[in-house]
Structure 1
Amino acid sequence: MSVKTPDGLTISAQEWGNPSGPEILFIHGFNQSYMSWMRQTDSDLAKEFHIVTYDLRGHGNSDKPLDPKYYRDSKAWGDEVQAVMDAAGLKHPVLVGHSYAGRVISDYVTTHGASKIAGINFVDASIKLDPALIGDNLKNLPLMASEDMATNIAATRVFVHGCFSKQPSVDDYETMLAFNMMVPAKVRAGFSGRPLDATEVMSKLTIPVLVTHGAEDRNVKVGISKYTASIVPGAKLSIYDGIGHSPFYEDAPRFNSELAAFVRAATKSN
């Protein structure tokens, strides 16, 4: 599915599962792709739920303009989410956002409000940038924006490994490295410097929120999610011991079970 954004980009989106089921929109993190959700789209979730995934601007098969203005406008990010929802015919989905997608969901709620979504699952994601809670693996980001290919690839290899405590299979790691490398160096650089503090807007949410975090995350420390859970009224915090930045991959059975229960409850309550 090709989606046009208000600022003229073409976004690549995909549909999975039961078209008449409760709706889930998965939003991946920085340098990733819709394929990050392989253990959700190819699971029992697809039997019950209408699942939509997409590649963020600058990622995967979506447009990758090199001008940093396309990556620093909060409204553009929020509008992109709404454009995908509209194109897929989503009426009231649960948004599941991993890592950088915490910013994207914050942009969406700031721009469009929360009346069109049933709930939010933040996954190792932040709503406020706190340098004290940034992990060592993100030190690779400047090197990943290098125009020197050898430096770029070496840093990306380390970064991908650092996104896991329980390492992926060799085949899956190679796939992940490949889609990470689809993000151009100039696009990676364009993501830097964008401020984040959605505390005020998130503190006013009245929809269900699940906050998921791997205790061994080396990208963003678990305190990031503890802060979110303390700010959002009624939010539930789920911490995965022994798991890194990617609980949806590292412990997919638990993640999928908790998400399914959350979506069922959120859909009934709205």
Structure 2
Amino acid sequence: MPMTVRNSRLVKVTIAAALLVAMAQPGSAEGLKYKPIVVKTPDGLTISAQEWGNPAGAEILFIHGFSQSHLSWMRQVGSDLAREFRIITYDLRGHGNSDKPLDAARYRDSKAWGDEVQAVIDAAGLKRPVVVGWSYAGRVISDYLATHGAGQLAGINFVDAPIKADPALIGDNLKNLPLMASEDLLTNIAATRTFLHGCFSRQPSADDYETMLAFNMMVLPKVRAGLSGRPLDASEIMSKLKLPVLVTHGAEDRNARLGAGQYTASVIPGAKLSVYEGIGHSPFYEDAPRFNTELAAFVRAAAKTN
């Protein structure tokens, strides 16, 4: 029997309503409200940044990892954190909607990385943010501290984010990195898929994995090659920090072994180590309720300290 016009419209309205509900579910950044922020770096790049949450709340600046994007934090910007805190996310150079120069030198300059973080802080008007850095962001935070110091920060949360490149603490999942820089698309995609799965012990949902794979593939092979191989040993700088530090690390991390987090906590005076048993490289996704609760407590305490 043919569908009537009225019934057809009812079906369309019902489908539209269902889609809106689905987009608002935890774990998805789609449909969430944010204010776009355009950032210009001193070396001439345009960086895509976003403001979420409570504009009057204590400040959190999230920095994502290698080949990821600001959407990595979908389970933070769509959570109760956004009701209490002012949240800033952004796409690193070469990632997401930020500029993607192909010259490897644009990814090898420590000062440029540090200046990029400062440019985001300035453009967003942040006063004393807690910086949350995942994975490769350990390098970025190290660059920032070396270039600008810690005077403008309220605290730092290292999330599976090493401060020293130690071959003994590198996990087996990083063997995919050279193939992720391949110009052969099938090779690149296969390596990216394997790498992405290796970033989790508790695997993401099918929908979230598809989104993650999509923004991983936005990072071009030449960009990935430029990001790789940078030296890292920020031990001396970190040993002099005098601000609250939380080190979050998954016990089953296959990118940076647990020893990397233990080392960070041992070097930084007063740092607290929070180990997530049964969790891989992405505790903020794999156990978002615990991560968000611990981060909220850390930000509140850091705000009182400063």
In structure 1, the residue corresponding to 2:252 is in which secondary structure? coil
Cα drift, residue 201 of structure 1: 0.5
Alignment of 1:101-250 (within 5 A): 101-250=137-286
Query: 61, 80, 84: which one pairs with 1:48?
Result: 84
1:61 aligns with 2:93: no
Cα drift, residue 256 of structure 1: 0.1
Instruction: Give every structure 1 segment of 4 or more consecutive aligned residues whose post-TM-superposition deviation is greater than 6 Å.
Output: none
Higher RCO structure, 1 or 2 (CA under 8 Å, sep 6+) = 1
In structure 2, the residue corresponding to 1:95 is in which secondary structure? strand
Q: Which 5+ residue runs of structure 1 have no aligned equivalent? A: none
Look up the match of 1:91: 127
Letter in 2 for 1:220: A
State the Cα deviation string for residues 48-93 of structure 1 (Å, max 9, x = none): 0000000000000000000011100100000000000000010000
Letter in 2 for 1:161: H
Cα distance in 2 for partners of 1:267, 1:158 equals 39
1:76 aligns with 2:112: yes
Letter in 1 for 2:201: S
In structure 1, the residue corresponding to 2:131 is in which secondary structure? strand
In structure 2, the residue corresponding to 1:107 is in which secondary structure? helix
In structure 1, the residue corresponding to 2:279 is in which secondary structure? coil
TM-score of the aligned structures, taking structure 2 as reference length: 0.88
Letter in 1 for 2:150: A
Q: Which 5+ residue runs of structure 2 have no aligned equivalent? A: 1-36
Cα distance in 2 for partners of 1:263, 1:187 equals 33
Look up the match of 2:291: 255
Query: 17, 39, 50: which one pairs with 1:14?
Result: 50
Cα drift, residue 192 of structure 1: 1.8
Aligned-CA RMSD value: 0.4
Cα drift, residue 214 of structure 1: 0.3
Alignment of 1:19-38 (within 5 A): 19-38=55-74
State the Cα deviation string for residues 92-134 of structure 1 (Å, max 9, x = none): 0000000000000011011000010000000001111001100
Cα drift, residue 147 of structure 1: 0.3
In structure 2, the residue corresponding to 1:177 is in which secondary structure? helix
